[in-house]
Amino acid sequence: MQWNNKFVYPKSTRSIVQGSRHYSVNDELLPSVTTILKATESEEKKAKLAEWKNRIGHKQAEIISREATSRGSSMHDYLEKFLLGKLNLELLGDNTREKMMADQIIENGLRNKLDEIWGCEATIYYPSKFSGTADCIGIYENKESLIDFKNANKPKKDEWIDDYYLQCAAYAMAHNTVYGTKISQGVILLCTKENIFQRFIIDGERFKKYQNQFMEKVEQYYSQRMAN
């Protein structure tokens, strides 16, 4: 695993516009990928989320969501330090849940698999369309790839993670557009809070299908904004 700083990623600032995350990149204010996904959710998905909140109670749902967000941020911090070669010795004795989750992803998903790193926590943007922060970009098992780190309360099934695939597809499409790369693979490396590791890989025609689906969502997002 080695660094290849072949691309210069832009500086960006995050801001909240009408309650949604946006990035200021190269004098453009662009909605984040997650903002677009949230704004274009299907009615079925909204109904399932509402049903879950009603079942366990809105207060408990808020607590679970907050904990997952905090856990994910800490896990990402460890993974970023690992990729940058900054995991120092004082962290070796850190046995927090987030550190152990990061270790699972490192040992099972990254070590001896991630050949080359182009960037981590890098600002990615598609001019005039959208932006976001990619967890890791580089060569994974000999393929130009977009790698995303996820945490979860329970193991996932492939059919449950459409949004993860759409996010990977969006970042890959943006990177290919701006930098002329040929990223054709999305890699999801996930660990649950009980330390269960999962890896999901999407490529080929299926990856292209998700790219097309995301661009449809982009058009839907901007149409909704015009209507409002």
Q: Where are the domains of the chain?
A: 2-227
Residue 105: what pLDDT?
Answer: 95
Per-chain mean pLDDT for the chain: 90
Contacts of 158 (CB under 8 A, 6+ apart): 200
- Per-residue pLDDT reduced to its tens digit, 116-172: 999 999 999 999 999 999 999 999 999 999 999 999 999 999 999 999 999 999 999
Residue 195: which pLDDT band, with cuts at 50, 70 and 90?
very high
Burial class, 20, CB count within 10 angstroms (exposed 0-12 / middle 13-18 / buried 19+) = middle
β-pair partners for 122 = 134
Residue 122: what pLDDT?
Answer: 95
For residue 226, pLDDT over 90 is answered with no
For residue 104, pLDDT over 90 is answered with yes
Inter-axis angle of helices 58-83 and 97-105, to 10 degrees?
50
Residue 29: what pLDDT?
Answer: 92
Mean pLDDT across 21-46: 88
Helix %, strand %, coil % of the chain (to 5): 50, 30, 25
For residue 94, pLDDT over 70 is answered with no
Asked whether 25 and 125 are in contact (CB, 8 A), the reply is yes
Architecture per CATH, 2-227: Alpha-Beta Complex (3.90)
